[in-house]
Structure 1
Amino acid sequence: MDELQARHRKEQRDLQSRITQKKKQASKKTRKGVNDECDKLEAELGQKHAAEVAALNGDAAPQDEEVVLSEQLEGLILNVDAPEDVAKTNGTEHTQQPSVPQEASDDAVVPSQSKKPNRAKARLAKRAAEQEEQARQAAEEVKHMPDMKQQERGRMLEGMKQRGLHEKEIRADGHCLYSAVADQLEQLQVRLGTVVGDKPALGYKAVRSAAAEYIEQHQDDFVPFLEEPLPEYLHKIRDTGEWGGQLELMALAKTYGTDINVLQDFGRVEKIDSGSGSDAKEMWLGYYKHGFGLGEHYNSLRKAP
């Protein structure tokens, strides 16, 4: 059996050399024919080797030649270029294993004798390590960055002190601008207004309704600055928690005839004129860019007692 397997390995190597040479010399037109010829040569050699092994073992010719061919080819491929003692062991174990029916394949698959490293897992591990390192570096940078929230807060308090104001903190819920305006109007004893219908509205809801109504009645002054259709924009003002901004402050200043002063970082004050002249009442809002988790925020600034 050892001599037979050694000869089989040599014949297999010789055949592979011939097949490699034929495929190298094949052109596009002859490639299919060459591949078919090579497959035929491999099948014939496998059948010949299977018959020789069966004869040596004294076995009867198998009824299913495809099963024998597949098993024998697998054994030959496993033992090609292997050391003699390994080939002997593998060959013996192979002949002792019961045959398992399977379809013969034109291209024999070479099982791996040693587990190969998983490249996909290695790439994922490398990527995870890189992301972890980036997160560590970012956290390290944050430690050395100035606290924007704390610095802004300190400057805002200084600005309030200079103007004789103190802060009424407004809940950061998306309605802060309207709630802050409502608080200021109550301090100025200005009627908030009503929502659609005759039911009185309280707080930010009334202010939202007033802003939407003014924009709807003065569309030409606002539509050029909108990035969406007017009905959708008005719906967001009236019925949702959408944040308010410059356009809404302009509408509210006109609606209530009250000038709006917005104190910002570094002591800047933006004044929104109501058009009511020098006798107009004034309200004060504090605008924060960094001070709250949701982002931009408005608080009500009352006169200090």
Structure 2
Amino acid sequence: MEDPQSEYQRMMRRHHREKRELEERIYTMKNLVPKSDRKRRKQLLLDVARLQAELEQKHRQEVEKFRERYPDNSDLDSVTEDLAKIDLENKPPSLLRAQKRWERRAALERARRERIAEAERERRTSFGREEEKKLTAILRARNLEMKDIPADGHCMYRAIQDQLMFSTTVESLRSRTATYMQKHVDDFLPFFSNSEAGDACSREDFMRYCDDIVHTASWGGQLELRALSHILQTPIEVIQASSPAIVVGEEYTKKPLTLVYLRYACSFGEHYNSVKPLQAGPVGVRAPRLF
């Protein structure tokens, strides 16, 4: 049976061989993409960083498993150092320089992406403050204020739930919404499309979408609001910061349920809040509902 040190040495040699093979592959990939093609070069940097990260993770996991098998073997570190020196001495200078260039470019690309993400976060924060200021003024004029709803994918349904005079669950609202939409496919399908491409979707796509309403935390939008207004036979008003309020279900005569739509409040997307009376009344006394 092979002793742990020999087995570890064999694994380390394989690791070094796989690293060299990846470096040669990266060198070939680089030569296949013209320097003038910035789009492909940018993608190449990302591909290289991904390949290197995957190989490093694979090697790290193999070493960790080996050390778990032989926790008391103190000679393994010296084997790693010796093999690393041999590998470094035998590596062609051109590959060393190429590797350093790619590592430097990959680091620059990561830093650039981080700067873009940070700028986007700052932009959303600034827009969010302005949006909240406008909404506060709109609601104050109606003697209302926002009531925070958790941003968990169920926010639209939770906001509706908060407005209702009777007790119900988010699961019930989702189920009733999906059932109504499935029973009235022809009323909704013309307005249902691929949100990214804007392409019309098939009946099967729509039915899968309805299934997701029940079984996932998918966000609700105008289609679901329309269905809920019919289910509840109640108008639903959606207050926005930069556009007039939207009312769905205007054919019904009940007092509208009122939601607040926020585009920039959450770092991961759009959000719905509920509303409550501006004056909450004395401590311990629940304010009267407006709905």
Identity of aligned residues (%): 32
8 Å CA contact retained: 2:240, 2:260: yes
Alignment gaps of 5+ in structure 1: 1-111, 193-201
Structure 2 equivalent of residue 54 of structure 1: none
8 Å CA contact retained: 2:159, 2:273: yes
Secondary structure in structure 2 of the residue aligned to 1:174: coil
Q: 2:155 aligns with which of 169, 172, 176?
A: 176
* Distance in 1 of aligned mates of 2:230 and 2:102: 59
Q: 2:144 aligns with which of 162, 165, 175?
A: 165
* Distance in 2 of aligned mates of 1:258 and 1:169: 22
User: Is residue 210 from structure 1 mapped to residue 176 from structure 2 by the alignment?
Assistant: yes
8 Å CA contact retained: 1:156, 1:267: no
8 Å CA contact retained: 1:176, 1:298: yes
8 Å CA contact retained: 2:121, 2:267: no
Deviations 1:108-137 (A, max 9, x none): xxxx99963423213213313532663576
1:258, distance to aligned residue in structure 2 (A): 1.0
User: Is residue 219 from structure 1 mapped to residue 185 from structure 2 by the alignment?
Assistant: yes
* Distance in 2 of aligned mates of 1:264 and 1:113: 66
* Distance in 2 of aligned mates of 1:161 and 1:269: 15
* Distance in 2 of aligned mates of 1:113 and 1:175: 59
* Distance in 2 of aligned mates of 1:280 and 1:258: 5
User: Is residue 287 from structure 1 mapped to residue 258 from structure 2 by the alignment?
Assistant: no
Secondary structure in structure 2 of the residue aligned to 1:302: strand
Q: What letter corresponds to residue 259 of structure 2 in structure 1?
A: L
* Distance in 2 of aligned mates of 1:209 and 1:171: 20
CA RMSD of aligned residues (A): 2.9
User: Is residue 302 from structure 1 mapped to residue 284 from structure 2 by the alignment?
Assistant: no
List structure 1 runs of 4+ shifted beyond 6 angstroms: 112-115
Rg bigger for which structure? 1
8 Å CA contact retained: 1:274, 1:280: no
* Distance in 1 of aligned mates of 2:215 and 2:90: 69
TM-score by length of 1: 0.52
Q: What letter corresponds to residue 105 of structure 2 in structure 1?
A: R
Alignment gaps of 5+ in structure 2: 1-88, 193-200, 280-291
Deviations 1:139-158 (A, max 9, x none): 78569857122221222212
For structure 1, which segment, 176-185 or 122-131, has the greater mean C-alpha deviation from structure 2 after superposition?
Answer: 122-131
* Distance in 2 of aligned mates of 1:140 and 1:237: 32
Length, aligned pairs only: 179
* Distance in 2 of aligned mates of 1:274 and 1:141: 41
* Distance in 2 of aligned mates of 1:298 and 1:222: 22
* Distance in 2 of aligned mates of 1:143 and 1:244: 24
Q: What letter corresponds to residue 276 of structure 2 in structure 1?
A: R
1:203, distance to aligned residue in structure 2 (A): 2.2
8 Å CA contact retained: 1:259, 1:273: yes
